[in-house]
Chain A
Amino acid sequence: MRNMFAEALYREATKNPDIYIVVADISPVGNMAKFSSEYPERFINVGVAEQSMIGICAGLALKGCQPFAYTIATFSLYRPFEMVRDDLCYQNLPVTVVGMGAGVIYSDHGGTHHAMEDIAIAGALPNMQIVAPCDPSEVAEATRWCAHQKNGPVYLRLGKSGEPDLTRAAEPWVFGKLRALRGGSDVAILSYGVVTKTAVDLAERFAARGKSASVYSCHTLKPLDRDGIVAVLKQYEHVVVIEENVPQGGLTAQTKQLAWDIGARCRLDTFTLQDRFIHNFGRHPDMLAEHGLGLSSIAERVGLG
């Protein structure tokens, strides 16, 4: 995902001299090296100084530029939180805060590097928009959109590298709208970000049992496509939500609330990171499994045991 982000941003930067990227000692490879060598004055490395990263982006935006702040998710959102809130959200500036390696992707780095509650935190901020692409091609779409939008700040939640393509047969990407990745009539699975791969795998498990399952990428977490989710809750008998975020403040919490509000009658199974720090190390799938987001455990709990 980060390489696709770098490629998409480089392409936009060649067309728009107001695009800046301000990084905090972490930089995507590939085309970002081209960006920094061709446009050194628009590639700013603040070093390990994330508060300054956000403040500088705010200042650039106050002068009409279109800046991106980029580092690991915990350091782009948590460390400079008040700058994100006051400088970007309060002033409603079109700055994209890129949170790379969000969720528990930095699995073996320990809890200091896990952005488990970033959707809840970013979602609590007035004016903040949140986009969490599920695969590299959605990253390209989202990055292009971020480079052009003037609504206000965006939290762009990325994975890291090696994510598979999940959207080859999908509907077109539209900001703020659910995107069907595959169609089905018995079950709908809602997800976003890297863990959407688990949703696609789960759909295959349903298919193997003779049930057809839709998978939707809820790439825009804020503003959430409430109408789209309501339609899903009404259309399907069984809805599953899988997200790599704590139970509070994310897609699960909001889907449950919508289901209550409309008196939904479907079965609703939700799977999230747990509301606790897990002091385990290992690969990303190991961490997801520890949190109860492993494919087998989810399959069992949705009746595919």
Chain B
Amino acid sequence: MTLFGNSFNTKEARERCRRYRRRILDISQQVQALHIGSAYSCTEIVDCFYHGLMRRNPDGSSPDTFLMSKGHGCMIQYVILEEDGILGRADLDGYCKADGHLGVHPDYGTPGIAAATGSLGHGLSMACGMALAERGRKTGGTIYVVLSDGEVQEGSTWEAVLMASSLRLDNFIAAVDNNDLQSLGRTSVTHPSLYPLVDKFTAFGWEVAEVDGHNPDAIFAAVAGRRGGRPFMMVAKTTKGKGVSYMENVPIWHYRSPNPEEYRHAIDELETGR
């Protein structure tokens, strides 16, 4: 078993993330709508978990587990699984089609998908159970989870936050994709008292770091440098729709596909880095 992190390269990570955004943009032209803004928001986080932090066995499998608790962001997971050879091109071409098997939310039974999510507030507790099982079997497996910041409003999320802390699950790494947007507006306006998030998770006994969620180096360093002995929460400050200027922080891109003109504009931005 080798630590991928030993060879984590920021330049390569940025290039992968550009590729992933481009691939998602292409898939957006196959369907009427997809959660493009939500996927772009957590692209660097999910890439860093998969390619910087989760370990790989020689056969390509991992002793660690990734769980997308914000199931609506799974398009980024699909394209990573495609590039890593776990899903095929035909799988993604069949996205949301009658003869396909990939939907808007990740489904249990799909290769590379650890649990069915989509209803918010379920992932963190399931991840607690997974971390417990890994600890019980002494496998050394670590569970990686990505939450949305809207999801942090769910009471069930806080039940799990309590449990992971009380059980001292040190093989538990979570990130909140803190893009500050939910369907009807700013999450920080809906619930101002939930912020700053760092203080809340710290108060619940987690080790917490706040990072720029689009900076691969910062994400990697925060997780790799954690003290350990407790569950770890990364509050990742992100921008919804990151990478395409007209999508950034515009709520309508939570669930929409670009038209052909918008598509070309987005491709230009991604190819030229603006």
Contacts and interface: CB of A to CB of B under 8 A. Distances in A.
Nearest to A58: B126
B155 interface: yes
A174 B114 CA distance: 34
Contacts of A41: 135-136
Interface residues of B, number: 29
A51 interface: yes
Interface of chain B, main secondary structure: helix
Contact of A55 (B124, B134, B167): B124
B129 A17 contact: no
B156 A90 contact: no
Contacts of B135: 41
Interface stretch (A80-88, A103-111, A216-224): A80-88
A94 to B, nearest CB: 13
* Size bracket, chain A contacts: 20 to 34
A193 interface: no
B128 A90 contact: no
A47 B162 CA distance: 10
- In this complex, which of A20, A44, A55 has the most chain B Cβ atoms within 10 angstroms of its Cβ? A55
A92 B162 CA distance: 26
A57 B122 contact: no
Nearest to A22: B129
Contact of B125 (A20, A42, A51, A65): A51
Given A55-B126, A56-B125, A90 B132 contact: no
B156 A51 contact: yes
A90 B118 CA distance: 12
Contacts of B133: 59-60, 62-65
Nearest to A83: B122
B267 interface: no
A86 B119 contact: yes
Nearest to A49: B159
Nearest to A54: B125
B146 interface: no
Contact of B114 (A54, A62, A83, A87): A62
B131 to A, nearest CB: 7
Contacts of B162: 47, 49, 52
A254 interface: no
